[in-house]
Amino acid sequence: MDPTYIVAWPLRYSFLTNEIECHYVPTRCSTSIACIFYKPRTSTKTTILYSHGNGADLGGVIGLCVWLAKSLRCNIFAYDYSGYGRSSGKPSEKKMYGDIEAAYNFLLDHYGCANEDVILMGQSLGSAPTVHLASKVRVRGVIIQSGFTSALNVAFSRAEHNTMCCDVFENRNKMVCIESAVLVVHGTSDEVIPWSHGAALLQACPHAVAPLWLEGAGHNDVEAYPAFITRLSKFIHQELAEANTSNVSSES
């Protein structure tokens, strides 16, 4: 799909083109967010709910989403935050949380997914809505890519990564509430959000699996490393499958 075509979407209009379904979804903050759903030609209900970074929109990540879906043999659902791309409104922390909640509920209601089918994945800024939702809902799994501990810790980094006065996007404090398995991915040479943020998030998470520290990777080239897709594939198809089987056995 031509990214310029996405910009021309009329509000509240849904259509299917080139195997990518496009929607506008209302949120509890009275905005309307643009969303896309892509299903590769495989029989699976496992779906990644993808939250992109600050400098992106759906037009910029649509190729990445298709690549992830095909490489990981999963469906993918991505959305733009309020005020991004063709989504209405203005960006804010509260609206961003409302955005992912609306996207998640639409994924369950419209596509018939269950909690155990959904993998939350957030890159950079997208780690904030991802951690927020994961702290409230138990899903199949969570992937945090190049995430941060809190907004002010990015601007005024401190070794202990404690929350500061008037801080926002307090990811580290919410990690302890996540009941799903979590994979943390971070480049060791990240110049935007230092690797120490990923390490602090990992330390705060009670259900983390072995992380992926990509030696020499920066902030925006993580996907270029072969180990990235290999590690994600193992997490989704092996570790989460084993965790799901264990949970079913314990509930029985």
Marked catalytic residue, from 23, 186, 197, 219: 219
Enter the tokens of residue 63: 């190729």
Enter the tokens of residue 227: 């180990």
Which regions of 39-175 does DSSP assign to beta strands (E)?
47-51, 75-79, 118-123, 141-145
Marked catalytic residue, from 52, 190, 196, 197: 190
Q: 219 an active-site residue?
A: yes
Q: 71 an active-site residue?
A: no
Tell which residue, 77, 32, 92, 80, has the closest CA to residue 55: 80
Q: Which residues of 182-193 are buried (b: 16+ CB within 10 A; e: fewer)?
A: bbbbbbeebebb
Q: 207 an active-site residue?
A: no
Tell which residue, 132, 135, 119, 141, has the closest CA to residue 75: 119
Whether residue 23 contacts residue 106, with contact meaning beta carbons closer than 8 Å, is answered with yes
Cβ-in-10-Å burial (0-12, 13-18, 19+) of 174 comes to buried
Marked catalytic residue, from 32, 51, 87, 124: 124
Residue type, 194: P
Task: In whole angstroms, give the CA distance from residue 189 to residue 167.
Answer: 25
- Point out the residues that are catalytic: 124, 190, 219
